[in-house]
């Protein structure tokens, strides 16, 4: 039987690492986009140790650079893979304002723009059939709105707001994509892993880090909703929806505003095409 292929971002630590190991156990061939050569090498060894019959192809990619993201997507596209499952999971949470080499606020670029850039660059590799899925890591922290007038928080940066907006954006784009005839045949899901003790808060205050350490669940537990969505047939899931604790979960009224989601899609597109 031909093996299925999964592409994953943010697999070198935390929740993504557990998801990647699950995919290897399930016999998926893997395409991994990661920024650290050392971590990529270690991860590849771990995955091949789980199942030596799968292929693991690593692509160096820093999501704070559009050039790097484009180059990695081009290299993946050259292999003409059939990507059955795309997991857009890489993310960060900054406590102070950081700009990328393009002068873009880093949370916006890494968490939102680059993840959508990967989908846009490789969507033609995703077969339009009942088993394909795109799974995007969102968060229960998604309250508020998309601040179109100050998307990069030039008028006062808050790491919390920047993170929350990026995750709201991902969830809204997930819903919007599921409604586009252009992408009919692909199923889209956003997932909240819960509060998980990972490296996400590496840049946060000691107090925030302590809260995550004390109250966060293990990455193994945090990956369970992703694993549920990966393993469940699309016919038993709800296309476009947000999953938490393995169930479709209602989100804020604003997050269902598809006019705002479409506006955001256009804004992201203009960043990507800059």
Ligand X SMILES: NC(=O)c1ccc[n+]([C@@H]2O[C@H](COP(=O)([O-])OP(=O)(O)OC[C@H]3O[C@@H](n4cnc5c(N)ncnc54)[C@H](OP(=O)(O)O)[C@@H]3O)[C@@H](O)[C@H]2O)c1
The interface region with ligand X, picked from 6-14, 74-82, 145-153, 240-248 by CB under 6 A, is: 6-14
Among 13, 234, 239, 249, binds ligand X (CB under 6 A): 13
* Rounded CA separation 147/198 (Å): 28
Among 190, 198, 224, 255, binds ligand X (CB under 6 A): 198
Among 62, 152, 241, 260, binds ligand X (CB under 6 A): 62
- Does 64 contact ligand X by CB under 6 A? yes
* Rounded CA separation 77/93 (Å): 29
In terms of DSSP H, where are the helices of 51-150? 66-78, 106-107, 114-122
Phi then psi for residue 207, to 5 deg, are: -65, -45
3-state secondary structure of 157: coil
Q: Nearest-CB residue to ligand X? A: 14
* Rounded CA separation 89/91 (Å): 6
Among 15, 30, 116, 186, binds ligand X (CB under 6 A): 15
Question: How far from 241 is each of 150, 173, 190, 192, CA to CA, in Å?
Answer: 27, 11, 6, 11
Quick note: the x/- pattern for ligand X over 42-61, rule CB under 6 A, is -------------------x
| Footprint of ligand X (CB under 6 A) | 10-16, 34-36, 39, 61-64, 89-92, 110, 137, 139, 192-193, 195-196, 198-200, 216
């Amino acid at each position: 039987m031909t093996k299925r292929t999964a592409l994953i971002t943010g697999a070198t630590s935390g929740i993504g690492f557990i998801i990647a190991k699950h995919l290897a156990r399930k016999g998926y061939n893997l395409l991994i986009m990661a920024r650290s050569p050392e971590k990529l090498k270690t991860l590849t060894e771990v995955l091949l140790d789980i199942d030596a019959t799968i292929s693991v192809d690593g692509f160096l990619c820093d999501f704070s650079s559009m050039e790097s993201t484009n180059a990695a997507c081009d290299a993946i596209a050259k292999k003409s893979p059939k990507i059955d499952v795309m997991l857009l999971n890489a993310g960060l949470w900054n406590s102070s304002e950081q700009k990328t080499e393009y002068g873009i606020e880093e949370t916006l670029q890494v968490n939102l723009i680059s993840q959508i850039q990967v989908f846009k660059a490789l969507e033609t590799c995703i077969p339009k059939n009942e088993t394909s899925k795109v799974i995007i890591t969102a968060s229960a922290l998604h309250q508020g709105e998309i601040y179109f007038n100050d998307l990069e928080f030039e008028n006062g940066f808050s790491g919390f707001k920047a993170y929350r907006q990026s995750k709201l954006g991902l969830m809204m784009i997930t819903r919007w994509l599921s409604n586009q005839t252009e992408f009919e045949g692909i199923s889209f899901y956003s997932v909240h892993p819960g509060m998980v003790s990972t490296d996400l808060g590496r840049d946060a205050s000691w107090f925030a880090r302590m809260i995550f350490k004390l109250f966060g669940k293990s990455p193994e537990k945090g990956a369970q909703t992703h694993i549920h969505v990966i393993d469940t047939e699309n016919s038993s899931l709800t296309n476009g929806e947000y999953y938490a604790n393995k169930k479709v979960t209602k989100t804020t009224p604003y997050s269902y505003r598809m006019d705002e989601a479409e506006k955001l899609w256009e804004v992201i597109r203009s960043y990507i095409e800059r």
